[in-house]
Amino acid sequence: MGSGKRGLLAAAVTVVCAVTVLAGAGTAFASVPPDLSATPTASGAPAPAPSGSPAPGTTPGPAPSATPTPAPDKDLEKIRKRLDRLYREAAAATDAYNAAEEKADKQSARLDDLNERIAEGRKRLKRLKDQAGATARAQYRNGGLPPTARFLLSDDPQRFADSAAVILNGERATKKLLTEMTRTQKELRADSDDATARMEKLEADRADKAAAKKKIKKRIADAELVESRLEKKEKERLAELERQAAHAAQTAWLDSGALDGVSGKTSAEGKKAVAFATAQLGKPYVWGAEGPDSFDCSGLTSQAWAAAGHPIPRTSQEQWRRLPHVAVADMRPGDLIIYFGDATHVAMYAGDGKIIHAPRPGRTVTVTGAGTMPILGVVRPNG
């Protein structure tokens, strides 16, 4: 075969081989499922194949382990609401714990006072009994005969008369002594009964406190478990959903005209309370804490007003129950905003539609919109 024919044949073979390879490559690309194909970039052009992808025309090996797909927003929204519920239940239990602790402290202090009174009463009763015994012995020595016989036998009638007067005065003193002894005994019995009842109440308050503590820990542990199962991106998205929900609630509250007519004026005590709360920004929330390094919601507000020279109840529920109520339209910086139908959260109004509060476990004392949670009402500690 001539060199010209051999050249044509070689060229023909090369073309056939090239067509065969291209046909194989087309089959390989066509077999890739649509969801695994390259993701378009912002310009619309397909992104480059990831490093390590099999070459066209080759059989793909086993797929590498896939990164968990982040939960969609609807699932994260359910998680957000579940976390809100768990932390709200923990807040309610915290209020119950604080109330039980306050009651237990008061009962304990009252018991200490009662025990001191009982001890003093016992000493007084012993002194009275000693005096009564001495008086009885003296009367026995001087009263062996009836008064008439002693008068007839006496060589000195005047001396007898004086003795009779002394005896009469002694009888009166004895009667008074016995009356005082009877009253002291009654007071001792009443104090002892009161102490017994208060001890029983103290034990009940301690049991309530222990039960509340157990519930708090359980709810917080449940919430932390839910959060621990989230991927980093899911946590970031969850935080974003929380911010969006808070922003939407605050916007709706402001758009409702809730702040129409609200002035920024406040009292000297209110300024001191706001200044104290502001100085705590960034400190961690710890249930049951009332400073100086950490706070829960009512621990912050109660300590702020104590620093302003105006002590108030310890818990948010007692603050709502016992402090004067004012309309939202009349609130001023330093007033306390009570949240949720069960009054289980409290914050301090700082002015300009903002509050300072200790939100929940895992968070710090912060500033946020006053309308980010359902408002029950407003109270004024120095109203």
Pair 357, 366: CB distance under 8 Å: yes
Q: Backbone phi, then psi, for 163, in 5-degree steps?
A: -65, -40
In the residue annotation, 17 being an active-site residue is answered as no
How far apart, in whole angstroms, are the C-alpha atoms of residue 166 and residue 164? 5
How far apart, in whole angstroms, are the C-alpha atoms of residue 128 and residue 346? 55
What are the start-end ranges of the E strands in the chain? 325-326, 336-339, 345-351, 354-357, 366-369, 375-379
Question: Is residue 50 reached through a cis peptide bond, with omega within 30 degrees of 0 on the bond before it?
Answer: no
**Order of strands, edge to edge, in the sheet holding 375-379?**
325-326, 375-379, 336-339, 345-351, 354-357, 366-369
From the CB of residue 266, how many other CB atoms can be counted at a distance below 10 Å?
Answer: 20
Distances (CA, A) of 215 to 179, 289, 346: 54, 17, 20
Structure tokens at 383: 């109203």
Q: Provide Rg for the chain, Cα atoms.
A: 43
- For the chain, first and last CA: distance in Å? 117
How far apart, in whole angstroms, are the C-alpha atoms of residue 272 and residue 367? 17
From the CB of residue 11, how many other CB atoms can be counted at a distance below 10 Å?
Answer: 10
Pair 281, 366: CB distance under 8 Å: yes
Pick from 312, 321, 334, 310: which is nearest to 377 by CA? 321
Structure tokens at 337: 């905003």
Pick from 370, 141, 163, 76: which is nearest to 250 by CA? 370
Which of 17, 247, 297, 310 does the annotation list as catalytic? 297
In the residue annotation, 357 being an active-site residue is answered as yes
How far apart, in whole angstroms, are the C-alpha atoms of residue 178 and residue 54? 110
Residues assigned a catalytic role: 297, 345, 357
